[in-house]
Structure 1
Amino acid sequence: MTSRMLLVSPAMNASVRQARFDDGGPLEEGGAAAARSAAGSLPAAARVLVSPGARCRETADALGLDGVRAPAPAGLDVGRWRGLALDEVGAAEPQALARWLGDPASAPHGGESVADLCGRVAEWLAEAAGAEGRSVAVVEPEVVRAAVVAALGLDAAVFWRLDVAPLTVTEVSGRAGRWNLRLGRPLTAPAAP
């Protein structure tokens, strides 16, 4: 059975703009407006899943998606670094930050490692492979990265080499063990009839 999952990255919020570890803050008005203008641009789906983070929930709402909260594709748990700017962590814990960015199995912040996130998302994709019809999932950018790593069977070390822009769609299709990708299509306002 072929599965099709559209992974939608959330709209812009202050954490993204300020290069901070997400602290659960709301979307910026511009991000919410961009998502509202893209409402109706996604194809119909058999199921809509929404990561539990505030920016994912608000993006789904702005897109007009009635989704089910899904804990499995939650964002990366960055432990005590939550809400801190990358520069702050780099100044206070330069060796820990370097270790975290260089070693996917490292979790010096006390949260989840990148390797663990990639494993969790790979399991989620394998479970999703059994679902019939198209799924749409509004998920954190790091979940999109982890899905690309899992789908292509890449080493988790490439995780930080993947950029995921706000309000883009990455499509994963195929079946567990054999996935194809369509990367980073921007969500835009649907064409007028």
Structure 2
Amino acid sequence: MTLRVLLLSPATGPALRAARFDDDSPLDERGIAQARAVAGAVPRASRHLTAPSRRCRETAAGLGLSAEPAPGLVGLDVGRWRGLGLDELAAAEPEAVAAWLADPAAAPHGGESVVALVGRVGAWLDGLGSGNDGESDDGDGRVLAVAEPAVIRAAVVHALALPPQAFWRLDVRPLTLTALSGRAGRWNLRCGEALGPAS
């Protein structure tokens, strides 16, 4: 069966507005309102998944989805940089930040490299519908997953067999859909579909 995987980025939260790495902080009232405003525009799917992060879970709830947690959708682990602002890091550790942005295999923060993230998310994506994701696909092949922007970028890099350096060239706006259709090893992409005026 051909799968259609709809990856939905979460609503804007305080970390994104402050240009800092998320520390699993909750959505604020503005983010919750954004999710609720577009709830009626969410496409149908036979399965609803969510990343374990708080903002993804709260976005799913704001959209009215009863989404099951998917450990394969865990966001990029930025290690000791968690909760810190990009400007703050660029001033304190300019060489480390430059290395991280230039080399997708680098992880100067002690967390996960972009290469590792792409591999992990790619394995999750390719396992959908095959029972390797812990669930059989007994519906219509449509999966909607609320996932962090880094996870969505990693899925696109994997699905299109892009070089890992392309990861930093992809922009995922809040509350937008990125659709992948096909099956393991052969995916097609439709990206950046806005759900409504809030995004």
| Same fold per superposition (TM over 0.5) | yes
Task: Determine the C-alpha separation between the residues in 2 that align with 1:17 and 1:63.
Answer: 21
Instruction: Report what 1:177 is aligned to.
Output: 185
Match of 1:163 in 2: 171
Q: Which residue of 1 aligns with 2:86?
A: 86
Aligned partners of 1:129 and 1:176 also within 8 Å: no
Structure 1, unaligned stretches of length 5 or more?
A: none
For 1:128 and 1:171, the matched residues in 2 are separated by 14
Q: How many residue pairs were aligned?
A: 189
Between the aligned partners of 1:105 and 1:129, the Cα distance in structure 2 is 29
SS of structure 1 residue aligned to 2:80: helix
Matches within 5 A, 1:25-174: 25-130=25-130, 131=137, 132=139, 133-174=141-182
TM-score of the superposed pair, with normalisation by structure 1: 0.95
Q: Deviation at 1:28? A: 2.5
Secondary structure in structure 2 of the residue aligned to 1:124: helix
Gaps of 5+ in 2: 131-136
- Give the Å deviation of 1:129: 4.6
Deviation readout 1:84-105 (Å, 9 max, x if unpaired): 0001111111101100000000
Over 6 Å off, 4+ runs:
none
Partner residue, 2:134: none
Q: Distance in 2 between matches of 1:161 and 1:92?
A: 24
Work out the CA distance in 1 between the residues paired with 2:35 and 2:178.
Answer: 16
1:31 Cα deviation after fit: 1.7
Distance 1:104 1:19 in 2: 20
- One-letter code of the match for 1:166? P
Q: What RMSD, in angstroms, separates the aligned Cα atoms of the two structures?
A: 1.1
TM-score, normalising length: structure 2: 0.92
User: Would you say the 8 A contact 1:90–1:97 is kept in 2?
Assistant: yes
Cα distance between partner residues in 2 of 1:8 and 1:107: 26
Instruction: Give the aligned partner of residue 186 of structure 1.
Output: 194
Task: Single out whichever of 133-142 and 40-49 deviates more from structure 2.
Answer: 40-49
**Percent identity, aligned pairs only?**
60
**Contact 1:2 1:129 (C-alpha < 8 Å) held by counterparts:** no
